A and B are shown apart, each in its own frame.
Chain A
Amino acid sequence: MGYKTIIGLEIHTELMTKTKMFCSCANSFGNEANTNCCPVCVGLPGALPVINETAIEYAIKAGIALNSNIITNTRMDRKNYFYSDLVKGYQISQDDLPLCEGGFIEIELGDGTKKVNLQRIHIEEDTGKQTHTTEGDTLIDYNRSGVPLIEIVTKPDMNTPEEARLFLEKLRATLKYIEVSDCKMEEGSLRCDVNINVVDSETGEKTNITEIKNLNSFRGAVKAMEFEEKRHIALLKEGKNTVRETRRWDEVKNETITMRQKLGVADYRFAADGDLAPLVIDNKWIEDIRSNLPELPHDKKERFIDEYNLEPYDAGVLTASKDLAAFYEETIKYVNDPKLVSNWIMGDVLRRLKDEEVEIEDVSLTPKALGQLISIVKDGKINNNTGKKVLKEMFDTGKDPETIVKEQGLIQISDEGELKGIIEKILDENEQSIIDFKNGKDRALGFLVGQIMKASRGKANPQLVNKMLTDMLNER
């Protein structure tokens, strides 16, 4: 007995054009409410839209990067509905002729690669943003009204929340790679709706599709899907079915909650937007965009394996984000040791990013500083452990490694005379350990090294200490 989960996603991504979709207002996040507004984006009577060509270019770029077909004869439609964040009473969108058809993303699972197919990618404008006050008022900020979006609709090809997460990560990486969106979920520039249902593999019985709206973090999306998966299975077990409805994820209660039931199909009364001429896209334009597309994650990974001789896994991690890959390649410029740099980034740097839940582009650590640090360690000026401490300090303070090493007096002691003094002092203090060593107890050597490192405040050159200690022990 088993159950099969079916997941399809709809992802809205804001395009990072300088200006809005249909007017010349600034497309920027975080400005004072209602300051990036003109007659067009607040839908004043008489205002008319004019298409921002860059938005179309970005949408084509996304289509190419996601392996879609670009439709050269398309148009913009009106999707009519009433809502207070929607200024014109209709949203300019695309109905039966989306800009991009089909496409796919490959995700890597434990047992191989899986292709998640796309249905379509279409262009539309974003709506305003509402805030509900505790007094019961609704405040509307129209700065977001008219920001260009693409909506990416997948086929129901994913079967676990984990697959959906991998898909979303790959999608985000790709969109960031081609620089059409910053994909910041917390700023709403990437928003995800999930369609999910479950089939009983034996009886073939299915639950009705539930839609979970406006998930604003990957973690939330995965949790919501896991919750729904369980809920649907439980219902099937009880011989019940789900209601065809839209739900939302409640982060506090850790559960999905009914928003509204879908009784009939919403009638948007779609019609071509006569204010905008049909979109006829020149094939040459598409080819120009294609040939100027930056290196995509998959190609970059292959190149990292070839060029830097990295393990496929490491190359995959380093190229998962464009910024991380760039950080890696930039660091190599300062210390030409691809393998060593990879180890540092794969280890301490990524751990640090994960602990602090930040992205590489948001930290004060620079490739130059990391390169310097690795050089210092490589040259034996400080040892590996000290290096790790310095890296932490660099993360916290943004200081460069030389300064930290100098300020804290961390330069490794490789001076044999100085080391000899320290070693002799420790040997004098630990006669029992010398006896133990002579009696073949290897642990004694480790203890002595530890004591020497402690006495040197971690600065002693470990290789040198090891060699000198053995020599000096034998001399005693």
Chain B
Amino acid sequence: MDITKLSAFEMKKKLHQKEITSRELIEAHFNKIEEIDGNINAFITLDKTEALKSADKVDEKIRNGERVGLLGGIPIGVKDNIMTKGIRTTCGSKMLENFIPPYNATIVNRIKEADGIIMGKTNMDEFAMGSSTETSYFGNTKNPIDTERVPGGSSGGSAAAVKACEVALSLGTDTGGSIRQPASYCDVVGIKPTYGIVSRYGVVSMANTLDQVGVFGRDVRDAVLMLSSITGYDEKDSTSFKNPEGTIIFGSFPEEIDYNNYLKGMKVGLPKEIFGNEIDIRIKDQITKSINIIEALGAEIEEISLPHLEYSLAAYYIISTSEVSSNLARFDGVRYGYRAKEYNTLDELYINSRSEAFGEEVKRRIMLGTYSLSSGYADEHYKKALKVRTLIKNDFDKAFSKYDVILSPTSPVLPFKFGEIKDPLSMYMADLFTVPVNLAGLCAMSIPCGYVDNLPVGIQLIGDKYKEANIFKAGLGLEGGLKNGL
């Protein structure tokens, strides 16, 4: 039995029944990484010593019959833009190649409190900018399904690591689709929760009003388990959601999931603006299959309209790059990170450090954002984009007053080959269906819904703010239906 192929739930069960130890589990995963990661390149940094130490602690707890946290003994990958004390955190950039943070992100502390085992830091597009993990300073991550193809981005490393069974669960961040799109390309489940329900403290900001930490798992239940462990109010993050009703996450996990019940009576909307789009017909076929399953399981499906959706991508790239230009200003070579060796003036110190250490895509977005925010242009670009954002939010508010879940393909295209998309604007199109969710601060999940020519297709289930329960139920229902060949 290859224990790395078990789901996190199955691992937990075997750990509790003392069929395996956490040390065995962690060693097996490190062996797997050693064996295949040279080819996949999902990790930038590994931390075997600490991971084994933590595993031993969990084993001891289990031996002593002590209470073990929700993630007790499970191997986890953490995207490399999330601060890990003492473990270098690079953001996939030369800028932070040797940066070792003196503190942990809140979510890292939460994983540790839940007894999760952090294996290492996963590869990503530089500063989370990209849709293919090709902009990483540490080389591409390859899609485990087909290593000639991209794993998606920017959380490509986290998605690939879960698919390749190098870890059971992982953390990613999603600013415009950076969890859902790689989940779709790597055939795993990815959840981008509602803005504010997972703390951003210690997560390097790309576009801070859009960024959201989320999770990857190989099935819905695993992903929800991971998400449950990291959500919750954090006083260190002013945008953190203080939920008066306690946890919003799908409550308990039944031993056996009866997928038959979850979708009954659920109202599902299909935005005509998305389905009228020119989607790869093969993707459309797979989505239609899923829609039929959802309907067969008792959901009501109707076509809806989100009239301002077509402006999402334009608004997204103005807002996100504007925020990027501000958020990345702190990387100036003065206090930490890369500093140019040659400079004469303070201005040269900044210019040379940033010119030498930022990659092309990062520079492109900083320049775009600086332009959009500059006086004289802010009104026609940045402020107008904010107005569009409000219109998109309003569209969704209206839709969610009637529907529980909105469906779309996760990506308009199948996983592409390295170097296949050269034009940055075409690359941005990969986020076409995912960005509206970030603009509106909603929750969404991508789950695998079939294959086309050996390439995976993902379907996106979008829920209203703080209504994660709806997309979890829909996801469990659909996942069960697909598995059972409905």
Contacts and interface: CB of A to CB of B under 8 A. Distances in A.
Interface in B340-383: 346-347, 350, 370, 373-375, 378, 382
Contacts of A30: none
A43 interface: yes
Contact of B375 (A89, A90, A269, A274): A269
A232 interface: no
A266 B293 CA distance: 59
Contacts of B322: 271
B346 A46 contact: no
B480 to A, nearest CB: 38
Interface stretch (A80-88, A165-173, A416-424): A80-88
Contact of A48 (B237, B347, B350): B237
A255 to B, nearest CB: 26
B160 interface: no
B374 A44 contact: no
Contacts of B188: none
Contacts of A277: 238-239
A32 B287 CA distance: 63
Contacts of A89: 326, 328-332
Nearest to A76: B238
B335 A50 contact: no
A222 B326 CA distance: 38
Name, among A42, A45, A87, A265, the residue most crowded by chain B CB atoms within 10 Å (CB to CB): A45
A202 interface: no
A274 B209 contact: yes
Contacts of B201: 46-48
A269 B374 contact: yes
A269 B238 contact: no
B373 A45 contact: no
A301 interface: no
A267 B373 CA distance: 9
B208 interface: yes
A45 B330 contact: yes
A277 B240 CA distance: 10
A88 B236 contact: no
B76 interface: no
Interface centre among B89, B236, B346, B374 (most CB of A within 10 A): B236
Interface string A12-51: 0000000000000000000000000001001111111111
Q: For chain A, what secondary structure do more than half of its interface residues adopt (helix, strand, loop), or is it mixed?
A: loop
Nearest to B237: A48
Nearest to B333: A84
Contacts of A50: 235-238
A39 B103 contact: yes
Interface stretch (B55-63, B94-102, B464-472): B94-102
B236 to A, nearest CB: 6
Contacts of B235: 50
B102 A44 contact: yes
Contacts of A39: 101-103, 202
A78 interface: yes
Interface residues of B, number: 45
Given A80-B373, A82-B350, A274 B208 contact: yes
A294 to B, nearest CB: 31
A97 interface: no
A276 interface: yes
Contacts of B382: 271
A84 B239 CA distance: 28
Contacts of B226: none
A90 B332 CA distance: 12
Interface in B54-101: 81-83, 89, 91, 96, 99, 101
Interface string B312-326: 000000000011011
A275 interface: yes
B297 interface: no
A267 B322 CA distance: 14
Interface in B217-249: 235-239
A275 B329 contact: no
Contact of B96 (A45, A48, A271): A45
A80 B239 CA distance: 21
A271 B326 contact: yes
B332 A82 contact: yes
Contacts of B102: 39, 44
Contacts of A80: 325-326, 329, 373
B336 interface: yes
Contacts of B237: 48, 50
Nearest to B349: A84
B373 A46 contact: no
Given A48-B236, A50-B236, A275-B238, A43 B326 contact: no
Nearest to B199: A48
B268 interface: no
17 contacts: A39-B102, A39-B103, A43-B330, A45-B99, A45-B101, A45-B330, A46-B201, A48-B236, A48-B238, A50-B238, A80-B325, A82-B347, A89-B331, A267-B374, A267-B375, A271-B378, A275-B239
Given A45-B330, A46-B105, A88-B329, 13 more contacts: A42-B335, A46-B203, A46-B204, A80-B325, A82-B347, A84-B332, A267-B375, A269-B325, A269-B375, A271-B323, A275-B208, A276-B239, A277-B239
